[in-house]
Amino acid sequence: MLNYKLHVAEKVSSLLGSFEPQELAALMEYPANHDKGDLCLPCFRLSKVLGKSPKDIAEHLQATLQDEEIDQIEAVNGYLNIFLKKQRWAEALIQHIHHAGHQYGSQNVGQGRTIVIDYSSPNIAKPFHVGHLRSTVIGNALYHIHAFLGYTCVGINHLGDWGTQFGKLIVAYQQWGSKEAVNQGAIDELLHLYVKFHEEAEKDPTLEDQARAWFTRMEHGDQEALALWHWFIDISMAEFQKIYKLLGVQFDAYQGESFYNDKMAPVIQMLQENQLLEEDEGAMLVRLDAFDMAPALMLKKDGSSLYHTRDLTAAIYRAETYDFAKLIYVTDYAQNLHFQQCFKVLELMGYTWASKLEHVAFGRVSIEGGGLSTRKGNVIKLENVLELSVQKIKEVIEARNPGLPNKEEVAVQVGIGAVIFNDLSANRIKDIDFSWEDALNFDGETGPYVQYTYARTCSLLKKAQMGFGHDFLTSNVDGSYLLEKEAVAVIKMLYLFTERIEQAMVKLEPSIISRYLIDLAQAFNRFYHTCYILVEEKHVREARLALVTSVQTTLRNGLKLIGLQAPNEI
Ligand code: ARG
């Protein structure tokens, strides 16, 4: 597909000299107001170099720029407004989308480069909460986006499967738990025991000592302690897997914190050799005062390792194993300092690849009536959120389309999709107030709205097929029938897909895709409501159906990128 910005920029570059086409293309914009053209070049950005006024530059270009793709050029207040030939544009784009199909929007800019994504990463024996959901959903979208752009992706689940909390759990289990209760209650029971431990420890501080002792036994490879630990992992993983299955998320590796147990000693040694480690009341830490950061704690008084020790080791292991172009960590912004410290320590250790690490932080999610604190146990379980969403969507479907054959399946696709989309609907750093009404609204800026629009394209094409045969798939679309402003608006949106995916990759921001899908769906629905599609006139009908097919392909590809299914009928 022709890159119009670059195409025009090449011409402009040869007329002006002094600028590379890429440079000029980067300055060009798509005016929001269609009266200002399809592309525009703000000439004041060129004034300094050329030593001319923006007005003169724009007028000069207007007089000299000629191209077979350009219909008309205006010079207005130092802006060069370029109007493309809409018919050619529509024809070329529709053909391209038709041929590219499932690959429409993909590129190979990431060819030969690897990105490692650390995401989801829930903690064993604790519930998978809405924060982990957001990490899972953002990480999964970033995985698909990079893969679509040709990167080799490695998705890692850095499970929280080691630490003093397991000592607490063992103590609680032995004092107040039972095998039957744990087998039956699974994570709920483990959480219950964990909460009970903290309640009791307030009255009896020796429990903390016992917990520490059990964790030390784990660290020394004690069979009994490790058997219990393994059991807690199996129970938790079974629940996490249910959620991943519902979300349609997979990982290339489960390398939790315990994976690094035997890999930390050399890292500690390196820190020592680099004279980065300092003793402080028996504990070992790296001072970061010079960088205005609190110290990063590496070893506790009793010699046990910490979250930091494991992340440092994990980063080094990944650098050695995957030779990545980028390593990103998807967690909420409460961990900002942790990652800043971690990256800084790696840099101080002399690892040049430390600059390839990035913390992809996101905001908190609050759901009416539920906090995230595990200690008090007042957590809304994600599984319940997902189930409730599916249930609510089922009711909507029952009311809207009672005859739908695979209601259950579609309710899952839309119910889960609504929750995923909601997590991606705003800039990731923003906090989200989850509201059922907003997330499930078929007419709002939601997953169900986009999926419903997709289903609309499917039903239109089905009707067309039944009524007129398959002739709308022809590749000889006549773009002169797609010149209504609503049709042109759809063409423009379709065209932007590739660029938006790239932006989402550069900014590590999947909400760019969800926003795009809303814009495309809205543009399509305006077209659908203004231009009747199944008209008698064959050429008009075929052209409009070809546009519908392009929208169908693009919506499907976009939904897939952010982890949503595209049901044919809702
Ligand atoms: N388990 C952590 C949590 O639930 C998230 C881990 C993120 N990844 C990492 N490499 N630190 O908060």
Q: Which domains does the chain have, with CATH numbers?
A: 4-84 (3.30.1360.70), 114-273+305-367 (3.40.50.620)
User: Among candidates 336, 340, 342, 292, which has minimal Cα distance to 316?
Assistant: 342
- pLDDT at position 372 is 43
The answer to whether residues 511 and 558 touch, using CB atoms and an 8 Å cutoff, is no
Cα dist from 123 to 137, 157, 158, whole Å: 17, 10, 9
The answer to whether residues 245 and 388 touch, using CB atoms and an 8 Å cutoff, is no
User: Among candidates 175, 190, 176, which has minimal Cα distance to 231?
Assistant: 190
Question: Exposure of 87 by Cβ count < 10 A (0-12 exposed, 13-18 middle, 19+ buried)?
Answer: middle
The answer to whether residues 115 and 151 touch, using CB atoms and an 8 Å cutoff, is yes
The neighbour count for residue 489, using CB atoms within 10 Å, is 18
Q: 342 CA to middle of ligand 1, Å?
A: 13
Q: 359 CA to middle of ligand 1, Å?
A: 11
CA-based end-to-end distance of the chain: 33
Active site residues: 126, 129, 132
- pLDDT at position 129 is 85
Give the position, in ligand 1's atom list, of the atom nearest the Cα of 131: 4
pTM across the whole model: 0.95
The neighbour count for residue 213, using CB atoms within 10 Å, is 14
Q: 158 CA to middle of ligand 1, Å?
A: 6
Dihedral of the CA atoms 185, 191, 194, 200 (nearest 10)?
Answer: -80
Residue range 495-509: mean pLDDT, rounded: 98
Residue range 541-566: mean pLDDT, rounded: 97
Residue range 114-120: mean pLDDT, rounded: 98
Name residue 331's amino acid: T
Q: 223 CA to middle of ligand 1, Å?
A: 27
- Whole-angstrom distance, CA of residue 66 vs CA of residue 72: 9
Average pLDDT value for the chain: 94
Residue range 204-216: mean pLDDT, rounded: 94
Model confidence at 475, in pLDDT bands (50, 70, 90)? low
The residue whose CA is least distant from atom 5 of ligand 1 is: 121
CB distance 389 to ligand 1 below 6 Å: no
Residue range 270-298: mean pLDDT, rounded: 97
The residue whose CA is least distant from atom 3 of ligand 1 is: 122
Cα dist from 338 to 131, 229, 299, 312, 313, whole Å: 17, 26, 15, 11, 14
Model confidence at 378, in pLDDT bands (50, 70, 90)? low
The sheet with strand 283-286 has its strands ordered as 277-280, 283-286, 296-299
Q: Looking at per-residue confidence, does 379 or 532 come out higher?
A: 532
What percentage of the chain carries pLDDT values higher than 70?
Answer: 97
Residue 385 confidence (pLDDT) above 90: no
User: Among candidates 363, 339, 556, 322, which has minimal Cα distance to 461?
Assistant: 556
The answer to whether residues 248 and 420 touch, using CB atoms and an 8 Å cutoff, is no
- pLDDT at position 519 is 98
CB distance 131 to ligand 1 below 6 Å: no
- Whole-angstrom distance, CA of residue 209 vs CA of residue 204: 10
- DSSP, collapsed to helix, strand or coil, labels residue 30 as coil
Range of lowest pLDDT (53-67, 439-453, 461-475): 461-475
Residue 44 confidence (pLDDT) above 90: yes
- pLDDT at position 288 is 98
Q: Which residue has the tokens 């350009």?
A: 70
Give the position, in ligand 1's atom list, of the atom nearest the Cα of 160: 1
- Whole-angstrom distance, CA of residue 334 vs CA of residue 339: 10
User: Among candidates 158, 159, 182, 157, which has minimal Cα distance to 169?
Assistant: 182
Residue 87 confidence (pLDDT) above 70: yes
| Phi, psi angle pair for 277, to nearest 5° | -90, 135
Tokens of 30: 């798509």
Residue range 399-420: mean pLDDT, rounded: 96
Which of 157, 158, 306 has the most ligand 1 atoms within 8 A of CB, as the residue to mutate? 158
Which of 116, 121, 233, 339 has the most ligand 1 atoms within 8 A of CB, as the residue to mutate? 121
* CA Rg value for the chain: 28
- Whole-angstrom distance, CA of residue 442 vs CA of residue 276: 56
User: Among candidates 522, 521, 500, which has minimal Cα distance to 511?
Assistant: 500
Residue range 295-323: mean pLDDT, rounded: 95
Determine the length of the chain: 570
The residue whose CA is least distant from atom 11 of ligand 1 is: 311
Tokens of 259: 């994976």
Q: Which residue has the tokens 């060069």?
A: 80
- pLDDT at position 384 is 81
The answer to whether residues 125 and 166 touch, using CB atoms and an 8 Å cutoff, is yes
The DSSP H or E segment spanning 40 is: strand 39-42
Question: Looking at the predicted complex, does its ipTM rise above 0.90?
Answer: yes
The neighbour count for residue 21, using CB atoms within 10 Å, is 17
Q: 83 CA to middle of ligand 1, Å?
A: 50
Cα dist from 469 to 248, 384, 466, 475, whole Å: 35, 45, 6, 15
CB distance 140 to ligand 1 below 6 Å: no
Rounded (5°) CA angle 69-27-362: 115
Give the position, in ligand 1's atom list, of the atom nearest the Cα of 307: 11
CB distance 329 to ligand 1 below 6 Å: yes
CB distance 165 to ligand 1 below 6 Å: no
Q: 121 CA to middle of ligand 1, Å?
A: 5
Per-residue pLDDT tens digits for 166-193: 999 999 999 999 999 999 999 889 999 9
Give the position, in ligand 1's atom list, of the atom nearest the Cα of 331: 7
CB distance 161 to ligand 1 below 6 Å: no
The neighbour count for residue 418, using CB atoms within 10 Å, is 27
β-sheet bridge partners, residue 82: 39, 73
- Whole-angstrom distance, CA of residue 201 vs CA of residue 199: 6
Residue 388 confidence (pLDDT) above 80: yes
Q: 392 CA to middle of ligand 1, Å?
A: 31
- Whole-angstrom distance, CA of residue 414 vs CA of residue 437: 14
The answer to whether residues 417 and 167 touch, using CB atoms and an 8 Å cutoff, is no
User: Among candidates 192, 124, 135, 203, which has minimal Cα distance to 164?
Assistant: 124
The answer to whether residues 120 and 251 touch, using CB atoms and an 8 Å cutoff, is yes
- pLDDT at position 373 is 44
CB distance 127 to ligand 1 below 6 Å: no
CB distance 257 to ligand 1 below 6 Å: no
- Whole-angstrom distance, CA of residue 155 vs CA of residue 142: 10
Residue 472 confidence (pLDDT) above 70: no
CB distance 332 to ligand 1 below 6 Å: no
Residue 355 confidence (pLDDT) above 80: yes
Range of lowest pLDDT (88-97, 375-384, 494-503): 375-384
Per-residue pLDDT tens digits for 330-339: 999 999 999 9
The answer to whether residues 377 and 386 touch, using CB atoms and an 8 Å cutoff, is no
The answer to whether residues 164 and 201 touch, using CB atoms and an 8 Å cutoff, is no
DSSP for 416-460, please give it: HHHHHHHHHSS-TTS-EEE-HHHHH-TTSSSHHHHHHHHHHHHHH
Q: 255 CA to middle of ligand 1, Å?
A: 12
What percentage of the chain carries pLDDT values higher than 90?
Answer: 88
- Whole-angstrom distance, CA of residue 253 vs CA of residue 246: 19
β-sheet bridge partners, residue 156: 118, 253
Q: Looking at per-residue confidence, does 469 or 350 come out higher?
A: 350
Rounded (5°) CA angle 33-552-40: 20
Per-residue pLDDT tens digits for 481-500: 999 999 999 999 999 999 99
The answer to whether residues 171 and 198 touch, using CB atoms and an 8 Å cutoff, is no
CB distance 136 to ligand 1 below 6 Å: no
DSSP 8-state code for residue 32: S
Rounded (5°) CA angle 112-114-115: 150
The residue whose CA is least distant from atom 1 of ligand 1 is: 160
